Amino acid sequence: MDNTEDYIFKFQGYNFQRSLLNLELINNLDDFEIRDDDVFIVTYPKSGTIWTQHILTLIYFEKYRNRTENMTVNYRTPYFEYKKTKIDFLNRPSPRLFCSHLPYYLVPKGLKSKKAKIIYIYRNPKDVLISYYHFSNFFSGFEPSQSIECFIERFLDGKVVGSLWFDHIRGWYEHRHDFNILFVMYEEMKKDLRSSVQKISRFLEKELSEEDLDAVVNQATFENMKTNPLVNHDAIAKCYIGIRTDGSVLRKGTIGDWKNHLTVEQNERFDRIFQKRMKDFPLKFIWDMDEN
């Protein structure tokens, strides 16, 4: 039986997660007033959102970096369209940091003034798929799948929160000239976190001293995020979404885990669809830890 509608709210052709959605906000997206110094992290789910939320929060908030405050990453860099916190966005002091899974065509029109900044994080879709499969079985706000095969079908049909991965990345990339946007690859962050943090901070015009850069890089490693309660919010997540099994958003944090899950046939099928849909797409992807 298909329970998709229990979990997904379809709005203007895009699939939102139902239980956390801020309906009032998405009904008035066009009018949401954007400030010049707003920063949005945009991702397709499971592409490194929380990692980038943490990095931006470390860059912007000294007390978060020094661990002298107890504000969680979701408070400092909240989801835009989902109500995980009760933050009053309109009265929030600048600079406002947000993260979002919105497709390019639904974002507030003010982002097209090209002053506010967008960082788009993308990840090879086989690892996205595997990460998403585990996540959906873990969190009760998402539709579980009995097998990877069932999830592959839903993922390739776009019957998941975030809709079709191909549409999300293509849409943002093809409309990049409408926005002040930086594209950053998850795998690039994994392979060279320091350079990636520098690239991000330069784009944000927040150049870091060597000491601060060290502090950001050190705290943004997978191992250190796992032991930091301000970012590893599995305990909080259990309360606001609920969980079905043991697990973690910070699961493996690696490149190429798809090889441990996909059969040869599933992998070849995925490749065929990827090649068809991403033909002529200029961004490159990294599928393996050893690949450059």
Rounded CA-CA distance 66/68 in Å is: 5
Q: How far is CA 239 from CA 5, 134, 231, in A?
A: 22, 19, 15
Complex with ligand A3P: residue 88 or 246, whichever CB lies closer: 246
101 as an active site residue: the answer is: yes
With CB under 6 A as the contact rule, the residue among 43, 74, 77, 100 that binds ligand A3P is 43
∠ Cα 17 21 22 (to 5°): 165
Site track for ligand A3P across 109-128, x = CB under 6 A: ------------------x-
Site track for ligand A3P across 149-188, x = CB under 6 A: ----------------------------------------
Should residue 100 be labelled a site residue for ligand A3P when binding is judged by CB under 6 A?
no
Give least dist CB 190 to ligand A3P, A.
Answer: 5
Cβ atoms of 220 and 54 within 8 Å: the answer is: yes
Rounded CA-CA distance 145/211 in Å is: 45
Cβ burial, residue 186 (10 Å; 0-12/13-18/19+): buried
Complex with ligand A3P: residue 24 or 290, whichever CB lies closer: 290
H helices present in 144-263, as ranges: 148-157, 165-174, 186-191, 193-203, 210-219, 222-226, 234-240
Q: How far is CA 233 from CA 73, 119, 214, 237, in A?
A: 9, 22, 23, 6
Rounded CA-CA distance 248/246 in Å is: 7
Cβ atoms of 36 and 25 within 8 Å: the answer is: no
Total site size for ligand A3P, rule CB under 6 A: 22
Give least dist CB 172 to ligand A3P, A.
Answer: 15
Complex with ligand A3P: residue 180 or 248, whichever CB lies closer: 248
Complex with ligand A3P: residue 26 or 219, whichever CB lies closer: 219
Site track for ligand A3P across 218-257, x = CB under 6 A: --xxx--x-----------------------xxxxx---x
Q: Please state whether the peptide bond connecting residue 95 to the residue before it is cis, i.e. omega within 30 degrees of 0.
A: yes
Joined together, the tokens standing for residue 114 give 């090209």
With CB under 6 A as the contact rule, the residue among 17, 47, 124, 163 that binds ligand A3P is 47
Site track for ligand A3P across 183-222, x = CB under 6 A: -------x-----------------------------xxx
Give least dist CB 32 to ligand A3P, A.
Answer: 22
* Catalytic residue IDs: 101
Residues that bind ligand A3P (CB under 6 A): 43, 45-51, 127, 131, 134, 190, 220-222, 225, 249-253, 257
